[in-house]
């Protein structure tokens, strides 16, 4: 079993709709959770991090964490064509430990 | 304020050769982590340097080695290159245990 699992996609969402990206992780002791956006040929860019159960909102982005279910999600409201990218879910056991990434979900926003 | 920088941006080597990649962390950051990202995969942790010492290491062979200098910059060295070493190599910096930010990466092609 992979440590961080994501659906590889592609996930196709119409412009203006809500895109929902999901991620599960295997280490129940994980403490920190991240969402990175990666455009083709570019390096990952941090867009959200979350440490506590519940929702965290930043502009059009909402991260949701459920530690009991070992589940992290990212919602993108009012999706724009510029949101088309690969979204990487990442998990960290403790603040000083390595970050473990999923393989990413490709998101495509269709006009 | 310059972000994380890496050099070179692209590199072509042949099997058996050695390569050195360089990373300068974001101003104020003292910790450097290196990741390998193969095509279609998430980044895989190679190792992390703090106070000029390797603090953590991922599941990579000894052909992969590194160094951190007193100014916090870092080098990744790979010996006896294999075709499978072709990847995007990412450097991420942080201030101690805080959030990691990625540089633009070095794309290595081994022929």
The answer to whether B23 and B45 have CB atoms below 8 angstroms apart is no
Least confidently predicted of A2-11, B13-22, B56-65, B85-94: A2-11
pLDDT at A96: 65
Per-residue pLDDT tens listing for chain A (111 residues): 669 999 988 999 999 999 999 999 998 888 899 999 999 989 999 999 999 999 999 999 999 999 999 999 999 999 999 999 999 999 998 766 788 999 999 999 999
Enumerate chain A positions whose Cβ falls within 8 A of a Cβ in B. 4, 34, 36, 42-46, 49, 88, 90, 95-104
Contacts across the A-B interface (CB distance below 8 Å): 51
Instruction: Read off the pLDDT of residues B29-82 as tens digits, 9 standing for 90 and up.
Output: 999 999 999 999 999 999 999 999 999 999 999 999 999 999 999 999 999 999
Share above pLDDT 70 across residues of chain B, in percent, rounded to a whole number: 99
pLDDT at A1: 62
What is the H or E stretch that residue A86 is in? Answer: strand A85-92
Chain A residues in contact with B45 by the CB 8 A cut-off are: 98-100
The answer to whether B3 and B100 have CB atoms below 8 angstroms apart is no
- Our CA-based measurement puts residue B79 at a distance from the nearest CA of chain A, in whole angstroms, of 23
Short-list A7, A16, A5, A29, CA closest to A78: A16
pLDDT at A95: 67
CA closest to B47 among chain A residues: A98
- Our CA-based measurement puts residue B76 at a distance from the nearest CA of chain A, in whole angstroms, of 17
* Average of per-residue pLDDT across B104-108: 97
Q: Is the dihedral of CA A109, A7, B39, B89 positive or negative?
A: positive
Per DSSP bridges, beta strands B5-7 and B53-57 are: unpaired
- Our CA-based measurement puts residue B55 at a distance from the nearest CA of chain A, in whole angstroms, of 9
pLDDT at A80: 97
pLDDT at A19: 97
């Amino acid at each position: 079993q992979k440590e961080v699992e994501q659906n590889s996609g592609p996930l196709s969402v119409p412009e203006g709709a809500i895109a929902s990206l999901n991620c599960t992780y295997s280490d129940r002791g994980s403490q920190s959770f991240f969402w990175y956006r990666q455009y083709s040929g570019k390096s990952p860019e941090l867009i959200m991090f979350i440490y506590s159960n519940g929702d965290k909102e930043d502009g059009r982005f909402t991260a949701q964490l459920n530690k009991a279910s070992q589940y992290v999600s990212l919602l993108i409201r009012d999706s724009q064509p510029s949101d088309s990218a690969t979204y990487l879910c990442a998990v960290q056991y403790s603040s000083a430990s390595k970050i473990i990434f999923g393989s990413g979900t490709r998101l495509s926003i269709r006009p | 304020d310059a972000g994380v920088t890496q050099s070179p941006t692209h590199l072509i080597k042949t099997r058996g050769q050695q390569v050195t990649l360089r990373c300068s962390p974001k101003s104020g950051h003292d910790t450097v982590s290196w990741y390998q990202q193969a095509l279609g995969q998430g980044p895989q942790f190679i190792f992390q340097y703090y106070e000029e010492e390797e603090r953590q290491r991922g599941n990579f062979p000894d052909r992969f080695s590194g160094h951190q200098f007193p100014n916090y910059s870092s080098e990744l060295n790979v010996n006896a290159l294999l075709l499978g070493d072709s990847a995007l190599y990412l450097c991420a910096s942080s201030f101690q245990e805080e959030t990691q930010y990625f540089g633009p990466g070095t794309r290595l092609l081994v022929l």
